[in-house]
A = this chain, B = another copy of it.
Amino acid sequence: MSLSVAVAGASGYAGGELLRLLAAHPEFTVTTVTAFQNAGQPLIALQPHLRSLSHLTLVETTPQNLAGHDVVFLALPHGKSGEITAALPDGTLVIDCGADHRLTSESDWAAFYGGEYFGAWTYGLPELLHADGSKHRDELVGATRIAVPGCNVTAISLGLAPGIQSGLLEGDDLVAVLAVGPSGAGKALKTNLLASEILGSASAYGVGGTHRHTPEIVQNLTLAGGTDVGISFTPMLVPMSRGILATSTAKLKPGVTAAQVREAFEAAYADEPFVHVLPAGEFPRTADTVGANTALVGIAVDEATRRVVTVTAIDNLVKGTAGAAIQSANIALGFAETTGLSTNGVAP
């Protein structure tokens, strides 16, 4: 018998992607979809691509409307999930795609987000290596409150953690630059997100260590064994609706060879269903991950600069958000981790 599911923030891009994946999941049935301004409208009016859910109508995002479900997915702007989840029973599995419960450091929260701090939840990146060689997956088993990582964070963490955990890379002078599509910014009505502004153009934002995902990357790589982790992170907005291509670099420690680095990554992800290391000389395209819960990692070592360069591709809305949420839910609830999730991208 399938579990009843509510999705809060169902009119946005993350909410829409959650619904697309949930509609294909054999263990879940979406019974409630909520929104703020769009409450009262048929879901299909806001998400015209979700034909199989055209029977649903948006109701208001309130604790009452979210209560009484086995699983609640939140796809709300940051700062919104705290009070809503306070009203839900402890036994309900609540998975937050927003930022509210990602950071373990209250001072990082204050510095990068601000407002009331509601504390960190179990972090939804199962493949994250810990310093002791275990994976973060273990913490997700049986969890009832899960915080889904930021999309950029996932791409960069997966592209660096095995090198940090293995002790092969210096963690204090990391540099990551990524190309990302505008869907990560949501459906917000901002001039710089208009099609005319983005078609045929690339631009940078959150430059100089100001992007909110920065402390979360540091948090992950510290968990992976890094000491004094420091990262210069710059996102570039490019004209594709979905996708993240993250170029992440780190200094090799003295004496470390390219083969050792490759080995560390291959060992880390050998048994992972959703993270794949590409053969030497190959680098991923984001198109290969569209709609899939897949992360592809290409690795090169630049001997002249003694830097490793990894290139990681994900779909920001799937492995970067909604897919990670469902993967984490699968683990928490004891389903096969891959249930309802595709590894095959929609390309070209």
A200 partner, pick from B194, B236, B240, B342, beta carbons under 8 A:
B240
In the bound complex, how far is the Cα of B345 from the Cα of A242, in angstroms? 14
CB closest chain-B residue, reference A184: B196
Q: Binary interface profile of A, 180-219, with partner B (CB < 8 Å = 1, else 0)?
A: 0111000101110111111111111101111000100000
A209 partner, pick from B47, B287, B305, beta carbons under 8 A:
B305
Please determine whether B52 and A344 come into contact, CB atoms closer than 8 angstroms.
Answer: yes
In the bound complex, how far is the Cα of B20 from the Cα of A51, in angstroms? 20
A199-B198 in contact given A247-B177, A344-B23 (Cβ < 8 Å): yes
In the bound complex, how far is the Cα of B310 from the Cα of A175, in angstroms? 13
Q: How many residues of A contact B (CB 8 A)?
A: 87
CB closest chain-B residue, reference A176: B177
Q: How far is the CB of A50 from chain B (nearest CB, A)?
A: 5
In the bound complex, how far is the Cα of B52 from the Cα of A294, in angstroms? 11
Contacts of A231 in B (CB 8 A): 305
Subset of 17 A-B contacts with CB under 8 Å: A16-B348, A49-B289, A51-B345, A173-B307, A182-B195, A187-B196, A197-B285, A199-B199, A200-B287, A203-B283, A204-B283, A204-B311, A207-B283, A209-B302, A232-B309, A234-B309, A238-B239
Q: Binary interface profile of A, 281-310, with partner B (CB < 8 Å = 1, else 0)?
A: 001111111111010101011111101010
CB closest chain-B residue, reference A287: B201
Q: How far is the CB of A299 from chain B (nearest CB, A)?
A: 8
In the bound complex, how far is the Cα of B348 from the Cα of A343, in angstroms? 19
In the bound complex, how far is the Cα of B193 from the Cα of A236, in angstroms? 21
Q: How far is the CB of A54 from chain B (nearest CB, A)?
A: 8
Q: How far is the CB of A10 from chain B (nearest CB, A)?
A: 14
Q: Confirm or deny: A63 has a beta carbon within 8 angstroms of a beta carbon on chain B.
A: no
Q: Confirm or deny: A13 has a beta carbon within 8 angstroms of a beta carbon on chain B.
A: yes
Q: Confirm or deny: A98 has a beta carbon within 8 angstroms of a beta carbon on chain B.
A: no
Q: Confirm or deny: A230 has a beta carbon within 8 angstroms of a beta carbon on chain B.
A: yes
A200-B202 in contact given A183-B348, A247-B177 (Cβ < 8 Å): no
A48-B288 in contact given A208-B300, A238-B238, A240-B199 (Cβ < 8 Å): yes
Q: How far is the CB of A107 from chain B (nearest CB, A)?
A: 13
Q: Binary interface profile of A, 331-348, with partner B (CB < 8 Å = 1, else 0)?
A: 000000000001111111
From DSSP, what is the main secondary structure of chain A's interface residues? mixed
Taking beta carbons and an 8 Å cutoff, which residues of A are in contact with B?
A: 13, 16, 20, 23-24, 47-53, 173, 175, 177, 179, 181-183, 187, 189-191, 193-205, 207-210, 214, 230-232, 234, 236, 238-243, 245, 247, 249, 251, 276, 283-292, 294, 296, 298, 300-305, 307, 309, 311, 313, 342-348
Please determine whether A241 and B309 come into contact, CB atoms closer than 8 angstroms.
Answer: no
Residue of A201, A245, A249 ringed by the most chain B CB atoms within 10 A = A201
Please determine whether B202 and A191 come into contact, CB atoms closer than 8 angstroms.
Answer: no
A243-B202 in contact given A16-B347, A302-B209, A305-B209 (Cβ < 8 Å): yes
